[in-house]
């Protein structure tokens, strides 16, 4: 798949030129910017972008800000606000490059999934508030899980960032990747975390959100059945549910989103080059 090949080449290049752990830096809309916080010493500084607190990790003797970039942002020069442990503040500049995403046309048989009724819209608004609270939550954590496993086994059927058109109507870009696993197959936590929310949502169907710390949250949609409860602590590989076709879905799959400082970013950036290579090899063999 072109998506996997391009992502694998980008990540391999990144590994050759940087010593950072995943996520690999791709400072584009829908990507991740890794910004060195030069001069920051001692305790971890705080960093903010678009009024959202940003993950900060230590890489050797330096601090790095790991910044999620919204998919609808324009390329250009941007600023992080950095607050040191002694409460002094400064600005750190970084740049974002352009990236074009493909367009996908989809036909949805259930028309009200494309044109919701007034009652549907009330429900959607209630559910959006729940998910927004989970995406905006913050808790400090030093040991961050920055490399994920795939949550389910299957081909990657729809990549991140697709400009989607449902029944001829433009909608928001695809905010995750779809894994076309068989109905009923297990979905597992790709890294340690805590269940931040569960529910049956209008568009997403049976859904689980996992908080991994420092504004890093993952979401799993369209499940046949949920196997966890809100507040539950998870280890890497723990069962969270089963693949289904609930909500707005054209076939069995799990939609996997990664949110970083409340920006939905490409989950592929959190997979190792070895994992991506194995996925591409498996897809090519089919």
* pLDDT tens-digit readout, 179-209: 999 999 999 999 999 999 999 999 999 999 9
What is the residue-wise DSSP string for 41-70? -SSPPEEEETTEEEEEEEETTEEEEEEE--
Phi, psi angle pair for 179, to nearest 5°: -110, 115
How far is residue 98 CA from its own chain's centroid? 19
Q: In sequence order, what are the residues at sequence separation of 6 or more whose Cβ sits closer than 8 angstroms to the Cβ of residue 52?
A: 136, 215, 261, 262, 263
Q: What is the mean pLDDT of the segment spanning 5-28? A: 56
According to DSSP, the β-strands at 263-265 and 186-188 are unpaired
pLDDT of residue 19: 40
Contact between residue 143 and residue 174 where contact means Cβ atoms under 8 Å apart? no
> In the chain, what are the domains?
2-96 (2.60.40.1590), 103-285 (2.70.70.10)
SS3 270: helix
- Among 3-7, 58-62, 226-230, 259-263, name the one with the lowest average pLDDT: 3-7
Q: What is the mean pLDDT of the segment spanning 122-147? A: 94
């Amino acid at each position: 798949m072109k998506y996997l090949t391009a992502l694998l080449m980008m990540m391999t290049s990144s590994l050759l030129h940087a010593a950072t752990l995943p996520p690999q830096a791709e400072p584009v809309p829908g990507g991740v910017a890794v910004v060195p916080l030069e001069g920051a010493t001692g305790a971890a500084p705080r960093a903010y972008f678009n009024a959202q607190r940003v993950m900060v990790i230590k890489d050797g003797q330096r601090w790095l800000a790991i910044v999620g970039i919204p998919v609808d942002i324009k390329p250009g020069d941007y600023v992080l606000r950095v607050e040191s442990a002694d409460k002094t503040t400064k600005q750190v500049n970084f740049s974002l490059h352009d990236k074009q995403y493909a367009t996908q046309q989809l036909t949805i048989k259930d028309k009200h999934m494309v044109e919701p009724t007034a009652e549907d819209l009330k429900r959607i608004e209630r559910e959006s508030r729940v998910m927004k609270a989970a995406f905006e939550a913050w808790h400090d954590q030093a040991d961050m899980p920055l490399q994920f496993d795939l949550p389910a086994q299957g081909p990657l059927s729809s990549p991140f960032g697709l400009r989607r058109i449902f029944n001829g109507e433009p909608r928001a870009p695809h905010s995750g990747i779809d894994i076309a696993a068989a109905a009923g197959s297990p979905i597992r936590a790709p890294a340690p975390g805590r269940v931040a929310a569960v529910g049956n949502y209008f568009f997403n169907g049976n859904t689980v959100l996992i908080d991994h710390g420092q504004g890093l949250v993952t979401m799993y949609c369209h499940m046949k059945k949920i196997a966890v409860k809100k507040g539950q602590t998870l280890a890497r590989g723990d069962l969270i549910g089963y693949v289904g076709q609930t909500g707005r879905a054209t076939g069995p799959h799990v939609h996997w989103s990664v949110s970083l400082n409340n920006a939905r970013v490409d989950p592929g950036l959190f997979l190792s080059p070895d994992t991506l290579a194995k996925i591409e090899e498996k897809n090519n063999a089919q």
